Amino acid sequence: MIEMRKICNIAVIGLGNLGLRHLQSLSEYRKPANIYIIDTSETSLNSGRLFINTIKNVNIKFLFSNNINDLPNYLDFVVISTNSDIRLHVIKKLLVKCKVTYLLLEKVLFQKPEEYYECSEILIKNNVNTYVNCPMRTYEVFKSIKIFFKNDLIRLMTINGGEWGLACNSIHYIDLFSYLVDEIPSNFTTYLDKQIYASKRNNFIEFNGNISAKTTSAKLDINSCFLGLPNKMISIIGTKKYCTYDEQNGSVQMYKENNLIHNYKFSAPYQSALTLSIFESLLNTEKCELIKFCDSVELHLPFINTLIEHMQNNISKDINSVKIT
């Protein structure tokens, strides 16, 4: 629980595009706070300073640095939005310097399986309440879909699209699937292209093809095709009901026994509208709607391991990590 002090200490570590969105959201906090912004890139810090110059919030003091050691000894809430390859290193440095009450981590969490176990031990040792930012389960549209299937049994969820970043983004849909069916999927299998593709992010990679997973009663089928349509379509099929979710056009259709029950538009919230509500929920209730770190590890590990196995079978048996973020 956050101690009753007059001023909250908040930090955003990693000020890329997503980190800037986290900062934008937290800058709307209407009570006294110090927000520490940490990044090793002066270019990124300058982008943050330019943004802060547009903020007229007298309650917040913004402090910029390229060094974690400039953080205070106590932080109420920290967002780590660095790339996955340095995230564990950053967590270690942070927890040596600071006592942290709540920690929010971006995904994909880590690139190596052993880093998940190491981080779990560190977070338990330091008693840090940690969540992973897979926010689709918090969207009202998916809450409505879950209610729609309450008296049915979801059998299959499919995601189809063209080159939408399967490696980087699949964990969002794995998390969503787990939320909708209330189970942890296992038995991950891949039917991926042998070719490894360059990611839009420098020094990272991407895949195209199929990843699937199963629970005791449902199957998840994720597809990214080289020549497929750019927009993603989600289909959720139950025993008597099914629904389609058009991500690009913002529309949902819900059917029961082939009869259209609901047909409506939605607008998925931006990250800049989410982070503050996460922090305030933790502040006021000691919990939030995001998945806990320990549960997300159970989703991440089989996903990471199946990608590593694919690379071992097609590139080199010596590969023990996957360069995705």
Residue 34: what are its φ and ψ, rounded to 5°? -105, 125
Tens digit of each residue's pLDDT (9 = 90 or more) over 179-233: 999 999 989 999 999 999 999 888 999 999 999 999 999 999 999 987 656 678 9
> For residues 213 and 170, what is the distance between their CA atoms, to the nearest angstrom?
12
**Closest-CA residue to 28 (of 61, 57, 63, 62):** 57
Q: Please, which pLDDT band fits residue 21 given cuts at 50, 70 and 90? A: very high
Looking at 3.40.50.300, 1.10.150.20, 3.30.360.10, 3.40.50.720, the CATH number of the domain 140-268 comes to: 3.30.360.10
For the chain, the structural domain boundaries read 8-133+272-289, 140-268
> How much is the pLDDT for 163?
83
106 Rama sector, left if φ>0, alpha if ψ -120 to 50, beta otherwise: beta
How distant, in Å, are the alpha carbons of 9, 147, 309 from that of 60?
Answer: 10, 39, 47
**Closest-CA residue to 292 (of 117, 131, 105):** 131
Give the architecture (CATH level 2) of 8-133+272-289.
3-Layer(aba) Sandwich (3.40)
Confirm whether 8-133+272-289 and 140-268 share one CATH topology: no
Whether residue 259 is predicted with pLDDT greater than 80 in this model: the reply is yes
Residue 276: both structure tokens together: 């503050």
* 110 three-class SS: coil
> What pTM did the predictor assign?
0.96
> How much is the pLDDT for 156?
98
Tens digit of each residue's pLDDT (9 = 90 or more) over 41-75: 999 999 999 999 999 899 999 999 999 999 999 99
Tens digit of each residue's pLDDT (9 = 90 or more) over 133-174: 999 999 999 999 999 999 999 999 999 998 899 999 999 999
CB 79 within 8 A of CB 104: yes
